[in-house]
Structure 1
Amino acid sequence: MTDHITSKDGSTIAVDSLGSGPVVVLVGGAFNDRSTVAGVAMELAPRFTVVTYDRRGRGESTDAVREAGGGFDVAAEIDDLAAVIEHVGGHAHLFGHSSGAILVLEGAMRGLPADSVAVYESPYRADPDLPHPPSDLLDRLTAMADEGDRDGAASAFFTEAIGLPPEIVSGMKHGPTWAFFLDKAPTLPYDVALSRPWEFVDRDRLAALRVPVLAVYGDKTAPGLMAGAKAVADSVPGARLVVLPGEDHGVLQHPEALAPTLVEFFG
């Protein structure tokens, strides 16, 4: 069942609901929409009411600020998440993958009514010995989005934010998923504005959280993502850390590997 709700600034947000029981909202990261978390939703639906949505500017969701010539403000995405939670009853468990993990944590830190928060590989910068993107990445991605340069934005994100070699990205452009990436490319500044990967994670803000938090990473993932997950677990009082054997950042493609951990945590 798909509903179209209105966020604070007038943007329309497409929301799907599945199953019955306590409410769990799933939030994807860069290059994701509600279709990419649908597998996890199917795994959780026997126990929960699972809610997925297209983040603004993706899929069936609009972005009133961008349409009016505005920028990429994290607060707008927090408002969207707040509208989704209100739509499904006023409180919910939250799960976020990648930049979606930072989005749900940010929402909880800003007082959204979260019963608990589970995050998979939140891409905070936490290890000073690892390389990081330059501080002008957000400005350059914003300029590419303004100019309609989808290919440039996607390429810059993959090479600079994720750290893939240029030859790998070049090969991806001939693959079947590149068109999907290009479709989401204009929203990449939101993901970078959330993660701000040139700055170290603010552990003091995380330490102020007073909701149950679960941090998860796969043991085959990149060192920086491991460090980001560990930073959440180390910073939030009482947080749990779980390592999934054999998994990496692409865990959404293996929902059966992730779901049991979420079911146990959301209980």
Structure 2
Amino acid sequence: MSTLDVPGAQLYYETRGSGPFMLMIPGANGDADAFGAVADHLAPQYTVVTYDRRGFSRSRLDGPQDYDRRLATDTDDARRLIEYLRDEPATVFGSSSGGLVALELLARHPSAVHTLVPYEPPAVKLLPDGQRWAEFFTELYGLYRRSGVQPALERFREEAFAEPDRQAMAAVRAKDPKKGRYLRANATYWFEHELRQYPAAELDLDALTPYADRIVLAAGRESHGYPAHDATVALGLRIGREVIELPGGHHGHVTHPGQFADALVSALTLGGRGPKA
């Protein structure tokens, strides 16, 4: 088991493959295993590092946490991991909430990032109906506090994701009972510390725009009309970047790992930012 001690936590990470360094930042479940299959497909092209974000699964907290600065802390963890593992900038792929961490990483620590792939970061404040989505997340938190994790997760799936993603999210919880403890704990941690906070984060577009040529925005082909996809498109309009579409929906890296990896590498290569660039 590989770990890195950082202020206030111990980060669990896994490394596979060879080639240029790619760090993959997970989303709401915070668990490296979400990238297991797609990372295997990327490993012939990249040295892929996946990790559990602090407080999730095997990345243990160590001492008091500053939850008012949770996103900044997540960002600093990613920077420390890159600098610890390689003396060079990384290609950084961040999915969902991990995409917000990735964008913050480029804005605050551009020297750590060679290429950034934010995959459907839920920056809902960029949407015309962003306030409605902010209120939805607040209502969802209230449902979680009143009725527990499962009813809140079910409503989250039904309103925020396309049908293929709903099925994938339900299947993950059903087919892996040995991870049940992690899944329950991760969901609780996410509801308490990220559900309302991360989508409400203000992206520093002024800090990102000078590095826009490093950003490859990506979204799922099956996610049209849902908030994370549409927020990605809105972000692209703000920073002058087109959005590439990858197989599947919000969880395409889970449902279509081989196709997803191939399409991602092809898009990066076509844009001059691939593994052989």
| TM-score of the aligned structures, taking structure 1 as reference length | 0.79
Instruction: Please name the residue that 1:257 is paired with.
Output: 259
Question: Unmatched 5+ residue regions in structure 2?
Answer: 269-273
Instruction: Please name the residue that 1:127 is paired with.
Output: 127
Q: What is the alpha-carbon root mean square deviation over aligned residues?
A: 3.3
Deviation larger for 213-222 or 28-37: 213-222
For the residue of structure 2 that corresponds to 1:220, the secondary structure is: coil
Measure, in 1, the Cα distance between the counterparts of 2:57 and 2:188.
12
Residue of 71, 83, 86 corresponding to 2:83: 86
**Does structure 1 residue 74 correspond to structure 2 residue 74?**
no
Measure, in 2, the Cα distance between the counterparts of 1:107 and 1:77.
9
Measure, in 1, the Cα distance between the counterparts of 2:137 and 2:160.
18
Change (3 A) 1:33 1:162: farther
What is the number of residues matched between the two proteins? 249
For the residue of structure 2 that corresponds to 1:16, the secondary structure is: strand
Q: Is the 8 A contact 2:104 2:203 kept in 1?
A: no
Alpha-carbon deviations, 1:146-204, whole Å to 9, x = none? xxx9x725644653597369xx99xx5994569353131233123542221xx776644
Instruction: Please name the residue that 2:50 is paired with.
Output: 52
Q: Is the 8 A contact 2:100 2:121 kept in 1?
A: yes
Instruction: Please name the residue that 2:35 is paired with.
Output: 37
Q: Is the 8 A contact 2:91 2:113 kept in 1?
A: yes
Measure, in 2, the Cα distance between the counterparts of 1:5 and 1:18.
17
Change (3 A) 1:200 1:110: closer
| TM-score of the aligned structures, taking structure 2 as reference length | 0.76
Change (3 A) 1:69 1:140: farther
Q: Is the 8 A contact 2:106 2:208 kept in 1?
A: no
Measure, in 1, the Cα distance between the counterparts of 2:115 and 2:252.
21
Give, in angstroms, the shift of residue 103 of structure 1: 0.8
Q: Is the 8 A contact 1:29 1:191 kept in 2?
A: no
- The structure richer in helix per residue is 2
Pairing of 1:1-267 with structure 2 (within 5 A): 2-7=1-6, 9-64=7-62, 67-68=63-64, 70-71=66-67, 73-90=70-87, 91-112=89-110, 113-125=112-124, 126-129=126-129, 131-134=132-135, 137=138, 152-153=148-149, 155-156=151-152, 159=155, 163=159, 175-176=174-175, 179=180, 181-188=183-190, 189-190=193-194, 192-196=196-200, 203-223=205-225, 224-237=227-240, 239-244=241-246, 247-253=248-254, 254-264=256-266, 265=268, 266-267=274-275
Question: Unmatched 5+ residue regions in structure 1?
Answer: none
Give, in angstroms, the shift of residue 127 of structure 1: 2.5
Alpha-carbon deviations, 1:22-67, whole Å to 9, x = none? 0000111002411110111111110111000110011210123xx5
Give, in angstroms, the shift of residue 135 of structure 1: 8.3
Deviation larger for 94-103 or 249-258: 249-258
Q: Is the 8 A contact 1:99 1:191 kept in 2?
A: no
Give, in angstroms, the shift of residue 70 of structure 1: 4.7
For the residue of structure 2 that corresponds to 1:84, the secondary structure is: helix
For the residue of structure 1 that corresponds to 2:133, the secondary structure is: coil
Give, in angstroms, the shift of residue 263 of structure 1: 1.6
Q: Which amino acid in 2 is paired with 1:190?
A: E
Q: Is the 8 A contact 2:28 2:96 kept in 1?
A: yes
